[in-house]
Amino acid sequence: MTHYLDIRLRPDPEFPAPMLMGALYSKLHRALAELEADDIGISLPEHKTGVRARTPGEILRLHGQPERLEQLIANNWLKGMHDHIEISPIEPIPGNAEYRIVRRRQFKTNAERLRRRRMRRHNESEQTAQERVPDSVEQQVSLPFVQVRSGSTGQRFSLFIEHGRKRTEPIPGSFNTYGLSSEATVPWF
């Protein structure tokens, strides 16, 4: 990965930034799937963590080779978003950049949903599911997230995004259609 571009959300009195970021990210997911791109990663340079402050921020940074980023932008996937965003030029990664793995994290955040799922899958009674899935399984999540719609199932869900520890050397690898990877790094600056 030698280059990046930033997509910055413009302030909008009608739509909160997290809602716009969710719409932008859903469009990116569909565009990456359509391009079958496994060589474009993302980061959220303004993200905030903490149970009360977890937000993705207002910048979605795309990382990749310049020709691949140009191909993505030329694909017209930002239709309907142009009034809400500013796109930076494609720039080289700064020489002093560090690196991070940016990946999806999944959590058990709703005991009631887990019980209903268990009742369906194991044909258990509500009481048995209650015993097997106590309220204590719920986790407090402090990672930023975006609400997205899956391209394959059409369902909306919270995509929690973890920015791993900083590293001095890049780790090559591939990215999924959300621009995330459990092994490859993206530049961090």
Residue 117 has what pLDDT? 82
Q: Which of 40, 19, 20 is nearest to 29 (CA)?
A: 40
Across residues 68-88, what is the average pLDDT? 96
Residue 166 has what pLDDT? 97
Tens-place pLDDT, residues 87-140: 999 999 999 999 999 999 987 667 787 788 889 989 999 888 888 888 777 666
Residue 114 has what pLDDT? 79
Catalytic residue (choose from 29, 47, 63, 84): 29
Residue 116 has what pLDDT? 86
CATH of 3-107+139-188, one of 3.30.70.2540, 3.10.129.10, 3.40.1360.10, 3.20.20.70: 3.30.70.2540
Has residue 53 got a pLDDT over 90? Answer: no
Residue 43 has what pLDDT? 98
Tens-place pLDDT, residues 139-187: 667 788 898 887 778 888 889 999 999 999 999 999 999 999 999 999 9
29 is catalytic: yes
Q: Are strands 3-9 and 156-163 parallel, antiparallel or unpaired?
A: unpaired
Q: Which tokens go with 160?
A: 């929690």
Residues forming a β-bridge with 52: none
What single string gives the DSSP state of each residue in 45-61? Answer: TT-B-STTT-B--SEEE
